[in-house]
Amino acid sequence: MMGATSSRPATPSVPGMQGQRPAGVNSDPDVVADPERRKYHRSDCRYTKAEGCERMPRSAARKRSYEPCGICKP
């Protein structure tokens, strides 16, 4: 029995994760941290292909004392 009502997966709702971001500019975008070089990158930087890279908010990367990549300037 295939459902005839909807073919889209339901949007997952995460209670408690909304309303913390100021409207307008997103000042805390996701970045990709490279633990080996101790740097973080924009998600489209080519250096994010390295092994062990981990996606996290920029504030989290700074807290872990990662430095911003000089090429993609996250």
Residues binding Zn ion (CB under 5 A): 41, 45, 47, 69, 71-72
Taking the least distance from each CB to Zn ion, the nearer of 21 and 71 is 71
**Could you tell me the end-to-end alpha-carbon distance of the chain, in angstroms, rounded to an integer?**
48
54: exposed, middle or buried (Cβ count in 10 Å: 0-12, 13-18, 19+): middle
Smallest gap from Cβ 70 to Zn ion, in A, equals: 8
Smallest gap from Cβ 21 to Zn ion, in A, equals: 24
Q: Which residues contact 9 (CB under 8 A, 6 or more apart)?
A: none
Q: What is the number of the residue whose Cβ is closest to Zn ion? A: 69
Smallest gap from Cβ 56 to Zn ion, in A, equals: 14
Taking the least distance from each CB to Zn ion, the nearer of 30 and 47 is 47
